[in-house]
Amino acid sequence: TYLVFPGAVHTRFEHSLGVYRLAGEAMNNLQKYQGNELGIDRIDVQTVKLAGLLHDIGHGPFSHLFEHEFLPRVNPGSTWSHEHMSALLLDSIVDKHSIDIEPDYLKVIKEMIVASSDVSTAEGVKEKRFLYDIVANGRNGIDVDKFDYIDRDCRACGIGSNFQHWRHSKICTVGQTDNAR
């Protein structure tokens, strides 16, 4: 794509930084307008931002083509997913570099990363369920992961877009039932 659209940069690195930034903005807005009501603390903000930064580290070569086309042909019946691999790599990074992180904190970050996948454990989460929808929303697909690549791809490829994700983040609130689910 860089030959067809020379201004386009489609790296996982830039995308992950963008998702990290958008996750932070979403959390800052939620904390500002509903922080007390929802019990959002500094750890919640950090957890969502880290999930955004690390959500795609498990992608194989050629991204989704590897996961959805190549792997099923060479290993039929495989349940491999980049989300699951991201969680495994995160464990490996923490172990290899002796990162001092609370096990429960790490567990929540990994659950947020796999929240939209078939292997999601987030459905069992009762407290602050809405946090699991910010980076990878498996319930309706509206999340900062998509906001970043839609905005980046449209801008880099010269395709117009009237979608203003920042408006969504500014006016987004958590309703009574969202908090309980």
- At residue 25, the pLDDT reads 94
Contact, 2 vs 14, CB < 8 A? Answer: no
pLDDT tens digits in sequence order for the chain, 181 residues long: 567 766 666 778 888 999 999 999 999 999 999 999 999 999 999 999 999 999 999 988 877 788 888 888 998 988 888 899 999 999 999 999 999 999 999 999 999 998 866 545 555 566 788 999 999 888 888 899 999 988 888 877 778 777 777 777 777 778 765 444 4
Give pTM, 2 decimals.
0.84
Catalytic residue among 59, 82, 84, 165: 82
Q: Name the residue range of residue 87's domain.
A: 12-170
Q: Does residue 37 belong to any structural domain of this protein?
A: yes
Query: Three-state SS across the chain?
Result: CCCCCCCCCCCHHHHHHHHHHHHHHHHHHHHHHHHHHHCCCHHHHHHHHHHHHHCCCCCCCCHHHHHHHHHHHHCCCCCCCHHHHHHHHHHHHHHHCCCCCCHHHHHHHHHHHCCCCCCCCHHHCCCCHHHHHHHCCCCCCCCHHHHHHHHHHHHHHCCCCCCCHHHHHHHCCCCHHHHHC
Q: What is the CATH number of the domain that holds 157?
A: 1.10.3210.10
Q: Does residue 1 belong to any structural domain of this protein?
A: no
Q: Does residue 139 belong to any structural domain of this protein?
A: yes
Number of domain units in the chain: 1
- At residue 181, the pLDDT reads 41
82 is catalytic: yes
Q: Does residue 20 belong to any structural domain of this protein?
A: yes
Q: Does residue 138 belong to any structural domain of this protein?
A: yes
